[in-house]
């Protein structure tokens, strides 16, 4: 009996060891958290990541025009009554809080705000060209301001995490609308002070001083 138990334990130990070895693999295509934001290239990649995520469906789909424009009468649904009939709920203010367009607008922008907060808080300690560093942070602040601008106009008081380390705590408290606007204005003014007037070559399309001034003008018109 002792021999059988010893043999069983030995077999289990081999199995557990082999499983641990098999599962202990480095993630491919991903940078571990403790190795991110260490170099200038990683700082630049962080901003590219923000811009690339701005092209996903939650940002360029229908939710912006439906939630913010249909409800304001700046836009009308058009088409036949049965086509995308859910849009009629926004025209008639009969939509529920969990309607899909609201979820898309909320989730997509907070995901991007998280990326902006990471860039704004983690790029400063990196040893790199100071001019480029300041520009990347300014771009992230410009982007964060635009995302909060969408959220505050759609929902009024909203959670306003500004640091990824405090995101969980901030996510359960709604910040007064006036404070959100103050942060938007501060981010845009910071961006205006640093961003260039234009770019050339592959850099064309990034946030500019003129874009930040345009958004700031929209904020003051609200």
pLDDT digits (tens, 9 = 90+) for 159-191: 999 988 877 887 889 999 999 999 999 999 999
What does the pLDDT read at residue 32?
67
What does the pLDDT read at residue 167?
76
pLDDT greater than 90 at residue 26: no
- What value does the mean pLDDT take over residues 84-96? 84
Where residue 87 falls among pLDDT bands split at 50, 70, 90?
confident
- The C-alpha atoms of residue 168 and residue 151 are separated, in whole angstroms, by 18
The CATH code of domain 37-221 reads: 1.25.40.390
Query: Is the overall model pTM greater than 0.75, yes or no?
Result: yes
Least confident window among 29-38, 47-56, 102-111, 153-162:
29-38
What does the pLDDT read at residue 170?
78
What does the pLDDT read at residue 3?
45
- What value does the mean pLDDT take over residues 107-118? 95
What does the pLDDT read at residue 74?
78
- The C-alpha atoms of residue 62 and residue 167 are separated, in whole angstroms, by 27
pLDDT greater than 90 at residue 210: yes
What does the pLDDT read at residue 30?
67
pLDDT greater than 80 at residue 16: no
């Amino acid at each position: 009996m002792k021999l059988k138990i010893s043999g069983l334990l030995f077999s289990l130990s081999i199995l557990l060891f082999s499983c641990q070895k098999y599962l202990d693999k480095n993630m491919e295509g991903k940078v571990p958290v403790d190795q991110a934001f260490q170099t200038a290239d990683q700082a630049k990649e962080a901003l590219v990541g923000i811009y690339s995520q701005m092209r996903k469906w939650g940002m360029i789909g229908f939710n912006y025009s439906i939630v913010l424009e249909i409800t304001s009468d700046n836009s009308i649904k058009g088409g036949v009554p049965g086509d995308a009939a859910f849009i009629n709920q926004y025209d008639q203010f009969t939509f529920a809080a969990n309607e899909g367009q609201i979820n898309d607008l909320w989730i997509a922008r907070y995901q991007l705000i998280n990326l902006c907060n990471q860039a704004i808080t983690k790029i400063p300690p990196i040893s790199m060209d100071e001019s480029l560093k300041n520009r990347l942070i300014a771009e992230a602040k410009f982007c964060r301001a635009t995302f909060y601008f969408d959220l505050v106009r759609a929902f009024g008081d909203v959670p306003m995490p500004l640091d990824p380390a405090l995101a969980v705590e901030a996510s359960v408290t709604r910040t007064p609308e006036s404070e959100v606007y103050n942060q938007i204005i501060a981010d845009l003014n910071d961006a205006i002070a640093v961003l260039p007037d234009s770019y050339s070559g592959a850099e064309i399309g990034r946030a500019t001083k003129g874009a930040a001034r345009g958004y700031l003008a929209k904020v003051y018109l609200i």
